[in-house]
Structure 1
C-alpha cells in the first residue's frame, strides 16, 4: 500500500482495473472548456460575439488573447452602432419659456 496521494485534478492510475490501459498523462496547459454559461441578450450582434468566446475553449492559453480582442472589437462595434441609430424624437418640453 502506498501513502502517495495524487494531486487534485490528476487522475489516479487505474492499474487494479482489469483491461485498463495506461492513464493519459495530465497536462494542465492542455485546452479545456471553462464551462462558463453564456446567456442570450436578445441582441443578435452581441449574442454572436458572446458565442465567439466558446472558440477560446479549444485553444491553448496563448491563443485566448486573439479571441478576446476580436470579441471586444465586435462588442465595441455593436455598441457604437447603437449610438449611431436614430432614436425617437425627444418629447416636447412642458415648461414654457421664461424671460
Structure 2
C-alpha cells in the first residue's frame, strides 16, 4: 500500500479461501433410447448439486446400474440353443 492509501483508510479486499459451492458442469446428456440407461444417465445430474466429496456415491450408483444393465443384456433369454454335433468327432463307420 502507498502512503496515500494508508492515510485515506483504503483497504485491499479480503481474499476468500472458502471452497466454491456446487455448480452444474453443463454436460449435455443425450437419450440412448433405453429407458433404464437414460434414467441412470439422468441420475448423474444429482452430482451437480453436491459438493465434490458427494460425487463418488452418485458415480458408483450409476456405474453399478450400468453394469447390471449390461449383465442383463448378456444373459440368455429362453432355453439354450442346442448345438449340433461336429462332424469331425463323429466316429461312426
Consecutive unaligned residues in structure 1, runs of 5 or more? 1-24, 91-96
Deviations 1:61-84 (A, max 9, x none): 000000000000000001011111
Q: Normalising to structure 1: TM-score of the pair?
A: 0.59
Q: Normalising to structure 2: TM-score of the pair?
A: 0.63
2:30 corresponds to which of 33, 36, 39? 39
Tell me which stretches of 4 or more aligned residues in structure 1 moved more than 4 Å.
25-28
Q: How far apart in 2 are the matches of 1:30 and 1:44?
A: 31
Q: Are the counterparts in 2 of residues 29 and 61 from structure 1 also a CA contact under 8 Å? A: no
Which protein has the bigger helix share? 2
Question: 1:29 and 2:23 equivalent?
Answer: no
Query: How many residues are treated as equivalent by the alignment?
Result: 71
Consecutive unaligned residues in structure 2, runs of 5 or more? 1-15, 82-86
Q: Are the counterparts in 2 of residues 30 and 60 from structure 1 also a CA contact under 8 Å? A: yes
Q: Which structure carries more relative contact order (alpha carbon 8 Å, separation 6+)?
A: 2
**Correspondence list, 1:15-94, <5 A:** 28-86=19-77
How many Å apart are 1:54 and its aligned residue? Answer: 0.2
